[in-house]
A and B are shown apart, each in its own frame.
Chain A
């Protein structure tokens, strides 16, 4: 069966500091991978998606970037965090009609 991992679960970072969130998937190969963000009291916003290694599509202009160095690894990064980057970050995978979301990372930028 497939499993998706995200870490860390929670993170508190000062404004201007860098960010790296990691997501890994087990039990499948060549999945589509996604990063979503949910600001407090808001809906889920698709940030990035990837159909393969090194292939990243950005959905909205922002202070963040994504990379896919390996087939089942997806990384969300920022060089300098803004207060508006606070939120709940979710990684997801999809393949052949199946898919799941990770447990999420709650990021607070202070």
Chain B
């Protein structure tokens, strides 16, 4: 699995877009970029994943650079309930073990 690097913490104003960066310069060609989040005292929640193309779902958008060395998770209109620790993870196959780094602690501020 590729090692990922994320800023330890970020703030975002409520209602604004939250842009969470992730560097994964060692990612291999068949390694997906996954994003999870963990709200306090709960288990991690899957958000989105992608390989090469940008992806969007009801929760977020994922922008992956053309060289695949970095990506950005975008929460288009952050709410207070989006306050959580966000994890960016590289996963090769369906059966890979999922190893979490320290992630980014996002605080959405009223």
Contact = CB atoms under 8 A, between A and B. Distances in A.
B100 A94 contact: no
Interface residues of B, number: 19
A32 B97 contact: yes
A43 B94 contact: no
Contacts of A106: 41
Nearest to A36: B100
Interface in B65-110: 87, 94-103
A34 B41 contact: no
B43 A101 contact: yes
B28 to A, nearest CB: 17
A15 interface: no
A59 B1 CA distance: 14
B44 interface: yes
Interface in B10-47: 38, 41-46
Contacts of A51: 95
Nearest to B93: A97
A88 B38 CA distance: 13
Contacts of B49: 97
A96 B98 contact: no
Contacts of A100: 46
Contact of B97 (A34, A88, A102): A34
Given A96-B94, A104-B42, A43 B102 contact: yes
Interface of A: 32, 34, 36, 43-46, 49, 51, 57, 59, 88, 90, 92, 94-104, 106
24 contacts: A32-B97, A34-B97, A34-B98, A36-B100, A44-B44, A44-B100, A45-B100, A46-B99, A51-B95, A57-B97, A88-B41, A90-B44, A92-B43, A94-B98, A95-B94, A96-B94, A97-B94, A98-B94, A99-B98, A100-B46, A101-B45, A104-B42, A104-B43, A106-B41
Given A36-B100, A95-B95, 10 more contacts: A32-B94, A32-B95, A43-B101, A46-B98, A49-B97, A88-B41, A90-B44, A92-B98, A94-B94, A98-B94
